[in-house]
Structure 1
Amino acid sequence: METLKMYVFLMLLVVGVSGGDTGCGGKTADVYFLLDSSSSLSRSDHDKQLEFVKDVVTMFDIGQDKTRIGMAIFSHMYREVFNFQAYDTLAQLKYAFTKVPYLSGRTNIALALRKIRQHVFTSNKARENVSHILVVITDGGWFQTQAREASLLHNMGVNVFAVGVTKNANNNGLEQIASLPRGDDQSFLFNVLKYEDLDNIKDSLVTRICKVAGL
């Protein structure tokens, strides 16, 4: 019996030590996801996109003094789903993912980026002295003003990851959105052909976000 008690104690000790080392090892960051919700996505693709983001978020240590998560969706309009202050736990975030609506409509990335700049990474919303990270997932759409909006975000110190889905995604537009570098193993730019392929880049994306969070 004493041997069994000692075994249980050691197992609890191991879990306790490793439990705080989730994903980025406890590094702090404000990470915001901007998701395409236009008519070019089917509802099935919309759900696959959300499942991918949920899997990514699961790999972070969530909390108001740790990694905070926010999310917005866009088509020709922009809608914030939840901000950095909304949820304190991973369980709360997972439940929030089940409530994300599907917008439909045209794709206007420029509008969405402007809203992010004006209402998300501001002094009263985002924390000082932590990395500010934006992950944009889209399957296309391009507006002349999106290069300017992306540049303004970059100049604010926001690290922008651009994930293009399907062969229809505008690569030039994605390159304008993504922070530098864009063409090597440190790239802020990702491409997949189908929404079900997003899982193939999950580990690489999380690794890159963690590196940025460690700056």
Structure 2
Amino acid sequence: MKSRLSLATVVALVALLLSSSQAQEQDTQCKTTAKADIVLLLDGSWSIGRMNFKTIRSFIARLVRVFDIGPDRVQIGLVQYSDDPRTEWHLNAHPSKASLLEAIANLPYKGGSTMTGWALRYICNNNLNPSVGMREDSRKIGVLITDGKSQDEVYFKSKNLRDRGIKLYAIGIGSYDEYELKSIASDPDESHMYLVSNFQFLLDIVDNVTINLCNSIKASGW
């Protein structure tokens, strides 16, 4: 005998599907039809520490939830660097928010020294190009998250990115070098550079970061 779902069960399943869809819609706070390709450049040096690295993962997850993730909307790639840069995933690797959040939750801690200049050059050559998902008609953005001073030159590497039309954000935590971050971030500093004295304050700035990122994506005149 074939079993049949009761009316109450069907209603409950429909309600569950609707609530899940509404929850995803509420997550997406940056409402825009503009395309954006964002590469997160994450300092994974030993000075971060494993516990603080978990906080960074939480920060990135909260940032991602704000955007409409997809091949025709916002794509987010991630590079982790220390002595050398390592692509964790390219722009086109995760076409859904759920897949991207899972990758963030499983992001391993790298460890090593802080070679930010090398990492900036690396994303210019390897992550912000059409072969790995960058779209010609997208807003192109790089977001650096670091807790210390680079051990190599950063100004000309970041200038090369800015000259290519890539907007750069810089987030410094703890033992950051403010002058160095100013030389990396796009102008104006007030909306492209963020400084916090401790990892425990990192989540306090996530709303401001995402608002300005959203404004960059919506802005005309790129």
Confirm or deny a common fold (TM above 0.5).
yes
Q: Does 1:139 align with 2:147?
A: yes
Counterparts of residues 34-183 of structure 1 (less than 5 Å): 34-125=41-132, 126-143=134-151, 145-166=153-174, 168-183=175-190
Q: Which residue type is aligned with residue 146 of structure 1?
A: V
Shift of 1:122: 1.8
Shift of 1:85: 1.0
**In 2, Cα distance between equivalents of 1:19 and 1:55:** 14
Q: Deviations over 1:83-128 (max 9, x none)?
A: 0111111111111112212111110000100001101112433111
Q: Deviations over 1:188-211 (max 9, x none)?
A: 000011112111111111110011
Q: Deviations over 1:47-76 (max 9, x none)?
A: 100110011101101111111110010111
TM-score (norm. length: structure 1): 0.87
Counterpart secondary structure, 2:121: helix
**In 1, Cα distance between equivalents of 2:27 and 2:61:** 18
Q: Which residue type is aligned with residue 135 of structure 1?
A: V
Shift of 1:21: 8.6
Unaligned runs of 5+ in 1: none
**In 1, Cα distance between equivalents of 2:135 and 2:194:** 27
Aligned to 1:26: 32
Contact 1:20/1:26, CA 8 A, preserved across alignment: no
Q: Does 1:209 align with 2:213?
A: yes
Q: Which residue type is aligned with residue 160 of structure 1?
A: L
Larger Rg: 1 or 2? 2
Aligned to 2:200: 196
Shift of 1:19: 2.9
Shift of 1:32: 1.2
**In 2, Cα distance between equivalents of 1:130 and 1:213:** 9
TM-score (norm. length: structure 2): 0.84
Q: Identity rate of aligned residues, in percent? A: 29
Moved over 6 A (4+): none
Higher percent of residues as helix? 2
Q: Which residue type is aligned with residue 169 of structure 2?
A: F
Q: Deviations over 1:143-174 (max 9, x none)?
A: 452100000000011111000001x1011110
Counterpart secondary structure, 2:42: strand
Counterpart secondary structure, 2:103: helix
Contact 1:31/1:132, CA 8 A, preserved across alignment: yes
Contact 2:140/2:167, CA 8 A, preserved across alignment: yes
Aligned to 2:7: none
